Amino acid sequence: MLRRILPAVPALALFAVGCGGGSSAAGCDTAFQEQLDPASELHVLGDAEVDYLTDPPTSGPHGTAAIPEGALPTPISRSTQVAILEAGRALVQYTDAVPAQDVAVLAALADELVVVAPNPDLPEPVVVTAWTWKMTCADGGDESATAIADFADARIQTAPGSDVSPPS
């Protein structure tokens, strides 16, 4: 599972996490499920722009190109974001406000079932999505990464287009 690469959380970090706006002790809000977009069975060509019910989207029309894997250096289109989710993977995105050391912590979560990418247009510093699910985080530090790993572990391979066997 994702916990295999998380760095140890220093004891002081347990007391230094900033919380705000209803955030949990881990710096992340409680995950919530969004409405399924009725257009989720539609495919779009290329990076065609689509109107989604939510931003970032958690379901809806999606691209048909190969699904990217791992930690990506550049933002990805919204139709590719949904394609990642529809294939049963989790997507972790972060803004430019996230410090480099936190980006490295987030990148360590990336594998064949978790994609990590920058997105300068997010409403929060870190947003993690899975098919119809979303969670926001105030940062990308160790404790948030643990919450993100838990989120992903609970939701990968639960989408209608899941094409990889769940981890054992």
Average pLDDT over residues 76-97: 95
Other Cβ atoms closer than 10 A to 134: 20
| Residue 85 CA from chain centroid, whole number | 9
* 108-159 pLDDT, tens digit each: 999 999 999 999 999 999 999 999 999 999 999 999 999 999 999 999 988 8
What mean pLDDT value characterizes the chain?
Answer: 83
pLDDT number for residue 128: 98
* 1-42 pLDDT, tens digit each: 444 444 433 332 332 333 333 445 578 999 999 999 898 888
Sign (positive or negative) of CA dihedral 93, 32, 81, 155: positive
Whole-number Å distance between alpha carbons of 54 and 47: 17
Would the pLDDT of 50 be above 80? yes
What is the pLDDT confidence band of residue 47, given thresholds at 50, 70 and 90?
A: low
Contact (CB, 8 A) for 35 and 50: no
Contact (CB, 8 A) for 129 and 81: yes
